[in-house]
Amino acid sequence: MIPTQWEDVHRPDDGELVGHLVAVPDAGDLVVPTSLAGTPLGRARPRAEAADLLVRRGLAVLAGHWWCQLPSPLPAGVLDASIPEPDWPWQPVVLVEVSRTSCRLRPEVPAAEELTAQARLPVPVGDLLAEHPPA
């Protein structure tokens, strides 16, 4: 669940939630712009600059390329992937839905047996989701 101390950022024209500002301890007004899934959108920066970045890119980043540790093949239904097994490889995924408590995803290019398969991660996702395959 998104921590209550994270500050919501809404798009000014329609009020859509686009991300969160996460305060940096002992850094004055610096905050980290953070996606709805809880992933940082870059370095800490002044509040207004971070909020502007979220308004411009907060939702678009969710449509980007992501990687997650999942079983191969991913079984039908919705799998809790919050504690990956050691033998699960990192796989490219697409985010399907992000809420304040969970993130659902599916394989980017599903095999035939994975067409009805999804995985669920807790939000914030922490290191369970990556923009690049970990080395």
> Tokens standing for 117?
């398969």
DSSP letters, 18-68, are EEEEEEPTTSTTEEEEE-TTS-B-SS-EEHHHHHHHHHHHTTGGGGS-EEE
Query: Which residue in this structure is represented by tokens 């369970």?
Result: 128
- Do 75 and 113 belong together in one domain? yes
The 10 Å CB-count burial string (b at 16+, else e) for 56-86 is ebbbebbeeebbbbbbeebeeebeebeebee
Question: Is residue 79 predicted with pLDDT exceeding 90?
Answer: yes
User: Per the domain annotation, does 23 fall within a domain?
Assistant: yes
6-56 tens-digit pLDDT = 999 999 999 999 999 999 988 788 999 999 999 999 999 999 999 999 999
Q: Which of 20, 38, 61 is the last residue of a domain?
A: 61
In which band, very low, low, confident or very high, does the pLDDT at 134 lie, cut at 50, 70 and 90? confident
- Do 54 and 16 belong together in one domain? yes
42-75 tens-digit pLDDT = 999 999 999 999 999 999 999 999 999 999 999 9
- Do 89 and 105 belong together in one domain? yes
Q: Which of 10, 4, 11 is nearest to 22 (CA)?
A: 4
Please, what sign has the CA dihedral across residues 111, 114, 115, 121? negative
Q: Which of 41, 61, 81 is the last residue of a domain?
A: 61
- Do 53 and 96 belong together in one domain? no
